[in-house]
Structure 1
Amino acid sequence: MDRLPSASAFILKVAAIVGMTCNHVANVFGGALPGGAMVALYALGGLTFPIMAYLLCEGYRHTSSVLRYAERLGVFAAISQVPYSLLFGATGNVLITLLIGLGMLWALDRMRSRALCALAMLAGLVVSSLCDWGVIGPVMILLFWHLHDRPRGVALAMLVPLLAFGLPALSWVISETTPLSLGVLGYYTIGFGLATVLMLNYNGRRGRPMKWFFYVYYPAHLMVLWALTQIV
């Protein structure tokens, strides 16, 4: 079988944006959608966070300034929090989760004191428990970082969230087969599977630059979805 075409960072970002949009549409309007559409949207939604976490590690590895990288994440996390809270309540949005993960990578890389580093890791996990993806978000980032150089390291890193969420989702489907339970199972199987394939075929190239588009798109699409809830 021929190897799949390689994927640049641009392709990964497009896939993450598509998956994120599908997931948020499913979460906001899923009850009004046909069952098959809900399942498909949730399944595609599983593409998003693994790719975002993986690209954060790539960004940290290649950035010329971790401080500027953190500033960008922080500014757009703050901007995004208002529409995110309007849609999903008082939890931190995913950019905050990524910012925490970035801080944990920096702490592991720069802190000489193991005690201080351990405290930084603990603090990051505690704060992330209040954000989108909870504790597992930074854990996935750390797994991608530490397993990067191992053969099929991406697949190994993806085993943790797959087992942590996929098995309960399968149990839910067995006990109660509904479009929502099938969609959640698709999120952690189909979505995660597609994300893993894309990341395994990442070629290390940036491709077409779209850094600012991604940052702007996140709060913009949340605001559009909230505005639609006021109209529909």
Structure 2
Amino acid sequence: MSVFALKILAILAMSLDHIAAVFLSPINMPYLLMRGFGRIAFPIFCFLIVEGYYHTRDVKKYMIRLAGFALVSEIPFDLCFYQKPFYWQHQNVFFTLALGLITIYAIDEIKKRFSTSYIKALVLQFAVIILAMTTAWFLSTDYSMLGILIIIAFYVGRGNIIQIAISICIVTLYLGNTFQLYSLLALIPIYLYNGKKGPSMRYVFYVFYPAHMLILYVMSSLI
């Protein structure tokens, strides 16, 4: 599967997940099936963040783009899920993805600058990860600390699907989110990744994310 195919699959899963969250009762089977399938979206986006990090021409512009769309998406996110233009207790997933990208960039920079001091590099890398997790928790970003750890799992285990699966299982169970184990299904299409980009759709997801939440909010308001 190409990057394009993975993005389409993730967008579909995310859309079904959000439709269920907005319109369905949590006690029925369609809700559970749609939200269970929706769990595959975030790991795919995490995987694509890591791949994007390795292939981008300008990682700093990549960070700014993610952070910018995090801000743009926040009001649609709050309206869709909390019916308020500003809901400070929960921030959208772009914040988590941006934090994760910043974290793996910082880890790489530490490796380069302290290549002759393994212990110092390890301590600083650990400090960066803790800081990123704390920031995600403090801001109440979507997926919070779990999201940061999943991005790091894809970064550390890049190319080793078994290591990534074990890492996701460990952090998911440790943080007590057993429903998120459905996210392991995302490793099937990720394993089928062929390293090709496919048709370019850099901004399609960025625009689709806030746009589809605004549409869901308007639809839910009319029902």
TM-score interval, normalised by the smaller of the two chains = 0.7 to 0.9
Q: Please report the TM-score for the alignment, with normalisation by the length of structure 1.
A: 0.81
Q: Deviations over 1:59-78 (max 9, x none)?
A: 00111100111111111111
Alignment of 1:38-117 (within 5 A): 38-86=31-79, 87-88=81-82, 89-90=87-88, 91-111=90-110, 112=113, 114=121, 116-117=124-125
Number of residue-to-residue matches in the alignment? 206
Q: Tell me how far apart the structure 2 counterparts of residues 164 and 41 of structure 1 sit (CA, whole Å).
A: 24
Residue 41 of structure 1 deviates from its aligned partner by: 1.0
SS at match of 1:207: coil
Residue 35 of structure 1 deviates from its aligned partner by: 2.1
Instruction: Tell me the residue number matched to 1:30.
Output: 24
Instruction: Tell me the residue number matched to 1:154.
Output: 164
Instruction: Tell me the residue number matched to 1:217.
Output: 208
Q: Tell me how far apart the structure 2 counterparts of residues 119 and 168 of structure 1 sit (CA, whole Å).
A: 24
SS at match of 1:137: helix
Contact 2:161 2:187 in 1 (8 A): no
Q: What percent identity do the matched residue pairs reach? A: 30
Larger mean Cα displacement after TM superposition, 215-224 or 200-209: 200-209
Gaps of 5+ in 2: 115-120
Residue 162 of structure 1 deviates from its aligned partner by: 4.9
> Aligned to 2:132, which of 124, 133, 137?
124
SS at match of 2:7: helix
Q: Tell me how far apart the structure 1 counterparts of residues 41 and 161 of structure 2 sit (CA, whole Å).
A: 23
Instruction: Tell me the residue number matched to 2:187.
Output: 196
Q: Tell me how far apart the structure 1 counterparts of residues 212 and 69 of structure 2 sit (CA, whole Å).
A: 13
Residue 95 of structure 1 deviates from its aligned partner by: 0.5
Q: CA RMSD in A?
A: 2.1
Residue 207 of structure 1 deviates from its aligned partner by: 1.1
Residue 119 of structure 1 deviates from its aligned partner by: 3.7
Contact 1:158 1:196 in 2 (8 A): no
Q: Please report the TM-score for the alignment, with normalisation by the length of structure 2.
A: 0.84
Residue 116 of structure 1 deviates from its aligned partner by: 4.9
Contact 2:96 2:143 in 1 (8 A): yes
